[in-house]
Amino acid sequence: MATKLNVDTGGHAVGKKLWEMHQAHEQTSVDNYKEGVCFICFHKDVVSATIIDICGDCAGKRGREALLVPIGEKYYGMCMVCGGWKFHIENINARFCRGCYKRIVGRLRDDGHGAGDPFWKSLRRKHGKDWAWQMNDSTKSIRR
């Protein structure tokens, strides 16, 4: 049987305060049936929280109401909402319904978990499929 994660260690009750803060807002609260508002489609359905990367355009369309916590910023990466490779990606924690979550996982799977990056594709086109080995081979390096 699974054990419940204790986030209130250390005597600061951070997990309890964070949970109360999320439950206070209508957009971020979850009821006893795990129903809440999805960050992408804004439907009230069974949701689960996860961390994704989102570009500024998609974040601007969705707003900040249903967002749980912004985690950090990345200089370049794939937006998991629109599927494009863009600069200034934000790493967020939000809740998603099953349909939107499957769409996000499908984009990651279709992309090859980062293998579809245009930069790495251009290196393979320019130097061939063994470009990493050829660039690091000390006997016949093309950089000499």
Tell me what pLDDT residue 4 has.
57
Per-domain boundaries in the chain:
14-131
Tell me what pLDDT residue 2 has.
47
Tell me what pLDDT residue 19 has.
63
Per-block mean pLDDT, blocks of 10 residues, the chain (144 long): 56 66 64 76 84 88 76 88 89 88 88 74 78 66 53
Instruction: Return the number of other C-beta atoms located less than 10 Å from residue 91's C-beta.
Output: 15
